[in-house]
Structure 1
Amino acid sequence: MRLESRKLKVAFATLGCRMNQFETSALEDQFSLKGYDITDFESVADIYIVNTCTVTNDADRTSRKTLRQAKRRNPNAIVVATGCYAQVSPQELAKIPEIDLVIGNSHKTAVLEIVENYINEKFENKVFIDNIFRENDFKTFFISTFYEGSRPILKVQEGCNSFCSFCIIPFARGKVRSAKIQDIVNQVKFLVDKGYKEIVLTGTQLSQFGYDHKEGYLLDLLKQLVNVEGLYRIRLSSMGINELDDYLIDFLTTQEKIAPHFHLSIQSADDRVLKDMKRNYSVKQYVEKVEKILKNRPDTAIGTDIITGFPTEDETAFKNTVKNVEEIPFAYIHVFTYSMRDNTSAVKFGDRVSPQVKKERTKILREIGERKSIDFRKKFLGKDMEFLIITEKEDYKIGLTGNYIHAKIKTDQPLNSIVKSKLTKVGYEREDNLATIGDSYADTN
């Protein structure tokens, strides 16, 4: 397929997790540096690239719908499916006539090269995918940086070794690969020199950082980062409690530069369901980790993920989850509805919970999460707090505390400034049906 020699327009759509957002950003940079025009996905483009998600059946449907919409927007465009759905179910996508190329995560760094070869008619292949568990794949992992407002987010790790029974991600992302510690330290120093104050470290399973190269683990990385001169705050993305030993917890809760905000996914608060999920911990063990964190640093925000409607979650199990979730001092909760995925071991259980029951359970837990979010922020009403200005709006700015309280602030201070304010009001807003951003206000001193 040959396109005109004019400057080609490329449009991207990103579905799913932050990992995809980071990788789309990197792809946009690659295409832009090569001379392509990056345009909005809703406009007419020559090439459409959809970074797909496959975490649920709904994610699959949304991915297919988005890909088909692209071809309808411009029937002569090249439509590319990449990402996790493309990795896990490439032949399923290849059967869709609107899709020209299917490029799995195993080839995501080569998307530009593959697209250009396709344009120049150097091959007729449609699917590009390798088994991402091959021993020789991804020996080297490179840091990627994504900017969210005034905060650089560093993807320093990829993949997961846990293989929870419900999760397709290890099949889509592969085993753990980590960036080199010195490379991360150098990138953080570079960003701090540019004036950034908060650095967010993220990965598919950040707490498994270093499980591949063995040159050092998350604790070793953090010990070096807290010594970076001029760095104000380090924030960590989602972690598993199985990797949080006493040494790591003590360090996380005694270093002022590490944000007192930890997202620790529990997934269920019933021991039998946790066992069936292959989470390898009990509710009691989870609570003990949380209690140790809060004992050392009481103002810490603990966030979590919970799945409703897992096949073995009967009424008793759900009641246990509700009871335990009420008692655990969560600052916020993200609730997801179970979706059976091929290739996961949970398939053997079938899909026993009806859609209506799943919907009702999700509603119950989300309401609990909303209340807990408000209750957590109410504890800080009237208190002096430090906010990092991360977003500018027309009439106000949004500041973020170390313990993940977002607040609307009227201030003349620019992005990336530290503003001392009092929290004066808390409320709640929904965003994408998840408990994400607080409708809170703060007054500058």
Structure 2
Amino acid sequence: MSTHFEGSTFCIHTFGCQMNKHDSERVAGMLEGLGSLPVASIEEADIVVFLTCCVREAADTRLYGQVASMKNIAVREGSPFDKRYIAVGGCIGQRDGEKLTEQLPHLDVVFGTHNLGSLPGLLSSAIENRRQAVEVLAEGTEFSSALPADREHTWAAWLPITVGCNNFCSYCIVPYVRGREKSRPLEDIAEEARRYGEAGVKEITLLGQNVNSYGRDLYGEPRFADVLDAVDASGVERLRFATSHPKDLTDEVIARFGTLRSLMPALHLPVQSGSNRILAAMNRRYTREHYLGLIEKLRAVVPDIALSTDIIVGFPGETEEDFMETYRLVEEVGYGQVFTFIYSKREGTPAAAMEDDTPREVIQERFDRLVDLVQRKAWEANQGELDTIVPVLIEGVSKRDELVLAGKSPKNQTVHAPVPAGLRPEDLIGTIVPVAIDEARTWYLSGTVVDA
């Protein structure tokens, strides 16, 4: 069968972190370069690519369910192929490799986190040879940023600065599937940021499993503050980054929140637990006191900085007092957003071997208590925006009303505002507009565009 992709269609399903979202843009760029066209649904697609996450068990279940269900979906009329080709990449591809093809015999291609660029060749091989193609490398030599891309938005860009992770938190599978940490040369990052600035990109988000340790492998010491300086110099209007490990957040980086024009007053700083005993069991390598000291330093530089975090409830051996240490930390910090998770055992991690006899209903009750607190603190945090004018990067329209704009504030809050009279949504999408805030809810702000 011909490996010519002209006339074919593809769709990409992306699970998990921002790095996977960045990789999905690279996959789209490669497939479009082959002559394939993007479509919105599996039913319309001749090629379906899953970029997967294996941080939590639910992601495995979701992937296996979706791939299995595709056996019953007919090939679209007009397809150049006599079957639909299915590819799985990302962390589950890296972790399971050949095993995926055994468990999902109608799967055609498996690739890992280190060989994104192999996808076109693997697809061609599967089509031409009519058999499954699998390639999972132990480590990679290039960043996926070198591949062609079809960015989701012209006004926003992901910019990876590191891949992999050296932290080995006891609950986390990421170092095993993403590999050891590798940093891009500073000059490459600065050049990519410069190109984005010249292309009119409004917002750059720097990516890495731990951006704060950037450069340790290349330069012998972390140089993340230098990265922030270089990207700020590109002229981009908004700069964000994720994810930030507390043990490596330096005073130099904290100071940049007060000196860099483009660095937004928002920081995602995962704490995971407020108990020193549980933090030690998680191998997080900082204490509650150290973490709260970082919050104090950040607020000394930017008093109203918006803080978000990740928290795991039900880590093996967590007692009621351990949980209450976390609860009290959330009360003290007053996060604008908290991503809460019930612990999910990941085979191959040290925590998977830890004994825990805490009943599931006890863990669920603690989780529900924490969620109630998180919602109350988020509502309180948003009240400070009432009767202010906030610059909002318009990203699209509300899912409920196409005449209501939706965007992000500098603090990464979702903001809604009616489309001004005489304008269309597309006139404002990708621009930064001032919005007078007259309503503050738990998860969003509402107002009116002024001086549009």
TM-score relative to the length of structure 2 = 0.88
Indicate yes or no: 2:221 matched with 1:218. no
Secondary structure of the equivalent of 2:111? strand
Give the CA deviation at 1:140. 5.4
Task: Identify the match of residue 141 of structure 2 among 124, 138, 161.
Answer: 138
Q: Does 1:424 align with 2:434?
A: no
- Give the Cα separation in 1 of the matches to 2:7 and 2:435: 49
Contact 1:101 1:127 in 2 (8 A): yes
Task: Name the residue aligned to 1:342.
Answer: 347
**Which SS does the other structure have where 1:95 is aligned?**
helix
1:251 counterpart = 2:267: no
RMSD of Structure 2 on Structure 1 (CA): 2.4
Alignment partners' CA distance in 2, 1:361 and 1:69: 35
Give the C-alpha shift of residue 233 in structure 1: 2.1
1:408 equivalent to 2:411? Answer: no
Equivalent residue, structure 2, for 1:298: 303
Match in the other structure for 2:79: none
Q: Is the 8 A contact 1:391 1:415 kept in 2?
A: yes
Q: 1:310 to 1:103 in 2, by over 3 A?
A: same
Q: CA deviation at 1:129?
A: 1.6
| SS of the residue 1:106 aligns to | coil
2:27 & 2:322 partners in 1: Cα distance?
Answer: 43
Larger mean CA deviation between 265-274 and 368-377 belongs to 368-377
1:45 Cα deviation (Å)? 3.2
Pairing 1:51–2:51 present? yes
Asked if structure 1 preserves the Cα contact closer than 8 Å seen for 2:257 and 2:301, the reply is: no
Match of residue 267 from structure 1: 272
Q: Does 1:117 align with 2:117?
A: no
More deviation in 218-227 or 22-31? 218-227
- Offset, 1:42: 2.9
Aligned to 1:64: 64
Matches within 5 A, 1:169-208: 169-208=174-213
Secondary structure in structure 2 of the residue aligned to 1:192: helix
Preserved contact between residue 10 and residue 39 of structure 2 (Cα < 8 Å): yes
With over 3 angstroms needed to count, the CA separation of the structure-2 counterparts of 1:359 and 1:88, relative to structure 1, is same
Match of 1:289 among 294, 300, 310: 294
Specify the alignment match of 1:29 in structure 2. Answer: 29
Instruction: Give the percent of matched residue pairs that are identical in Structure 1 and Structure 2.
Output: 25
Matched, 1:374 2:379: yes
Matched residue, 1:434:
none
The more displaced of 146-155 and 82-91 is 146-155
Unaligned runs of 5+ in 2: 76-82
The amino acid across from 2:97 in the alignment is P
Contact 1:271 1:283 (C-alpha < 8 Å) held by counterparts: yes
Inter-CA distance 127–316: structure 2 relative to 1 (3 Å threshold): same
Q: Distance in 2 between matches of 1:161 and 1:177?
A: 9
Deviation at 1:142, TM superposition (A): 3.4
Deviations 1:132-177 (A, max 9, x none): 3xxxx32656367744573222223211110100000111111112
Secondary structure in 2 aligned to 1:225? helix
Partners of 1:141 and 1:179 within 8 A in 2 = no
Partner of 1:128: 135
Offset from partner CA, 1:348-407 (integer Å, 9 cap, x none): 213543333333322222222222211111012112332222324521222322122221
SS at structure 2 position matched to 1:213: helix
| In 2: Cα distance, 1:81 partner to 1:139 partner | 20
Secondary structure, counterpart of 1:142 in structure 2? helix
On the 8 A contact 2:6/2:36 being kept in 1, the answer is no
Runs of 4+ in 1 over 6 A off after TM superposition: 1-6
- Residue 388 (structure 2) aligns with: 383
Partner of 1:432: none
3-state DSSP of counterpart to 1:191: helix
Structure 2 counterpart of 1:80, one-letter code: A
Q: CA offsets per residue over residues 231-285 of structure 1, 9 Å max, x none? A: 2221122211111111221123332321010000001111111000000011111
Q: 1:378 to 1:149 in 2, by over 3 A?
A: farther
- The superposition leaves residues 308-349 of structure 1 with CA deviations (integer Å, 9 ceiling, x where unpaired) of 111121222112211221111211101111111111111221
Indicate how the Cα distance of structure 1 residues 4 and 409 shifts in structure 2: closer, same or farther if over 3 A, else same. closer
Deviation at 1:3, TM superposition (A): 7.7
Which sits farther off after the overlay, 349-358 or 29-38? 349-358
Contact 1:52 1:85 survives alignment (8 Å): yes
Q: How many residues end up aligned between the 2 structures?
A: 431
- Letter of the 1:138 counterpart: T
Given the alignment of the two structures, is residue 438 of structure 1 paired with residue 447 of structure 2, yes or no?
Answer: no
Residue 95 of structure 2 is matched in structure 1 by 88
**One-letter amino acid of the counterpart of residue 224, structure 1:** A
Partner secondary structure for residue 267 of structure 2:
strand
Gap regions ≥5 residues in structure 1: 429-436
Is contact 1:71-1:77 (8 Å) kept? no
More deviation, 253-262/337-346: 253-262
1:236 partnered with 2:250: no
**8 Å CA contact 2:117, 2:144 repeated in 1:** no
Counterparts of 2:217 and 2:335, CA distance in 1: 32
* TM-score, normalisation: structure 1: 0.89
Contact 1:408 1:439 in 2 (8 A): yes
Question: Aligned with 1:69: secondary structure?
Answer: helix
Query: 1:78 and 2:85 equivalent?
Result: yes
